[in-house]
Amino acid sequence: MLIGTATSAHQIEGNNVNSDWWHFEMKGRLKYRSGVACDSYRRYADDIKLMKKLRLNSYRFSIEFSRIMPDRYSIDYDAIKHYKSVIADLKRNGIEPIPTLWHYTLPFWFYRLGGFENSGNIANFIRYVKLLLKEGIDTKYIITINEPMVYAIKAYLNGRYPPFKHSFRTMLRVVNNLIRLHNELYTLLKKEGYTVSFAKNLLYFGKISKVYLPFGFSEYYYNKRFIKHSKIDFLGMNYYHNIDVFKTVRRKNKKTDMGWTIYSRGMRSLAEYYYHTYKKPIMVTENGIATGDEVLRGEFITEHVNTLVDMEKSGISVLGYHYWSLLDNFEWDYGYTKKFGICYVDSKSKQRIMKSSASVLKDLALKYG
C-alpha cells in the first residue's frame, strides 16, 4: 500500500504572492499571514529527504496554479520546471508523486474574473492544465480538485475563505461548476493515461442506511452528490472525523485541537459504503490530527492505518494512506496555531525536526508500505 503524507502549496511553500489568499492576507481581511510558511518552495529537497528517511513511498502535494499562470496570459516556465524537479526528485527516491491540480488558492486574476462562480473560468483552468500536460507531468496519479464541498461551503456559505460570501445559491453554482470542471479534466487526463480522482472530504454522519432528514440531506449533498456525478478511477478520500448526530458512539471519544472527535470507524463505514456503491478503489488522500500530544497523534495514525489494513483483508481495494501533514504548516484561517505535522518547523531557521509520531508512521510504512 502507498503510505505517505500530504501537503498543499499555499500551506507550505511560502510567498505565494499571486494568489487570492495572499492578497487578502495582505489586506488584513484574513486574520493570519502565510509569509514564508515552511519555505518548501526552496527547501523541497529537504522535505523529500525527510520522507526518504521515514521510508515513505508516496507524497501528495499540490501544484500552485497562481505560480504557473501569474497573469491571465503569462506563463512562468520556471515554476513548471520547479514542479517537474519536485516530481523527478520524488521518483529518484522511490516516492510516488501524487500532484493535486488545485488546493483552494486561486490566481488573483482568476478570482477577479469570478473564480468558480463564473463558468467561463472553467476554460481558463483547462488552459492551465493543458499547459502542464504539454510540458509533461510525469506521474501515474493526478488529483484534480481538493475538497470541492469544503471549499464551496467555506468560501460561499460561511464566508471564511475568499471571496467571503454568504449565498446558498452561489455555493450550489460553484459546486456544479466544479463537477463540470472535474469531468472535463477527467476526459483530458484519461486521454493522457493518468489515473484520476479528486480528494473528497467525507464526514461520517452515522450509519448511512439509517441517516434521515436533515442529516440524510447532509449525507447526500455533502458526501455523495459530487461523487455520484463524477467520473473517477479511484476514490480519493479525506477523512478527519465524524459528526455524531445520533449519539451512537458510546465510548467517550477524544477530541483534537480542532474540536473534532476521533472516530476511525467512520472512515471504515464510509469507505465500505462508497467502495460497494461505486466499485472504485479507495485512497486516503488525507487523514490527520491537530494536537500537541504526540502519543495521541501516534495512536491516531496507527488506528487509521490498521483500519485500512483490516479493510483490505475483508476485500476492499485500498490504494494508500496519506497523513496530513508532513510539517506543521499554515492552517488557513487558523494560521500557524494548529499543529497537524509529524515534524516541527523551526520558525526562524526553518529546520525540520521530527516528532515522535514520525517514527510511528515510519514503522507502519516499513510494515505495510
Residue 18 in contact with ligand BGC, rule: CB under 6 A:
no
**Applying CB under 6 A, which part among 91-99, 142-150, 154-162, 265-273 lies near ligand BGC?**
142-150
CA distance 29 to 253: 35
At its nearest, how many Å lie between ligand BGC and the CB of residue 146?
A: 5
CA distance 261 to 247: 12
Among 39, 117, 233, 286, binds ligand BGC (CB under 6 A): 286
Size of the site for ligand BGC (CB under 6 A): 11
Q: Binders of ligand BGC among 199-218, rule CB under 6 A?
A: 201
Residue 249 in contact with ligand BGC, rule: CB under 6 A:
no
Q: Binders of ligand BGC among 21-60, rule CB under 6 A?
A: none
Task: Look at residue 251 and give its three-state secondary structure.
Answer: coil
Residue 287 in contact with ligand BGC, rule: CB under 6 A:
no
69: buried, middle or exposed (CB in 10 Å: 19+, 13-18, 0-12)?
Answer: buried
Long-range Cβ pairs for the range 117-124 (8 Å, 24+) = 117/156, 117/170, 117/173, 117/174, 117/177, 118/177, 119/177, 119/180, 121/177, 122/177, 122/180, 122/181, 122/184, 124/72
Residue 64 in contact with ligand BGC, rule: CB under 6 A:
no
Please say which residue, 238 or 368, places its beta carbon nearer to ligand BGC: 238
Among 99, 211, 331, 361, binds ligand BGC (CB under 6 A): 331
CB within 8 Å of 352: residues ≥ 6 apart = 38, 46, 47, 50, 327, 343, 344, 345, 346
- Cis before residue 99, ω within 30 degrees of 0? no
Among 36, 150, 157, 172, binds ligand BGC (CB under 6 A): 150
CB 344 within 8 A of CB 353: yes
Could you tell me if residue 12 is left (phi over 0), alpha (psi between -120 and 50 degrees) or otherwise beta? alpha
At its nearest, how many Å lie between ligand BGC and the CB of residue 313?
A: 28
CA distance 98 to 261: 28
Question: Residue 332 carries which DSSP code?
Answer: G
* Interaction pattern, residues 301-330, with ligand BGC; x per rule: CB under 6 A: -----------------------x------
Please say which residue, 222 or 368, places its beta carbon nearer to ligand BGC: 222
Please say which residue, 263 or 324, places its beta carbon nearer to ligand BGC: 324
Positive or negative, the CA dihedral 57, 58, 59, 65 is positive
**Applying CB under 6 A, which part among 144-152, 164-172, 305-313, 345-353 lies near ligand BGC?**
144-152
Residue 8 in contact with ligand BGC, rule: CB under 6 A:
yes
Please say which residue, 30 or 368, places its beta carbon nearer to ligand BGC: 30
Binding site for ligand BGC (CB under 6 A): 8, 11, 146-147, 150, 201, 238, 286, 324, 331, 340
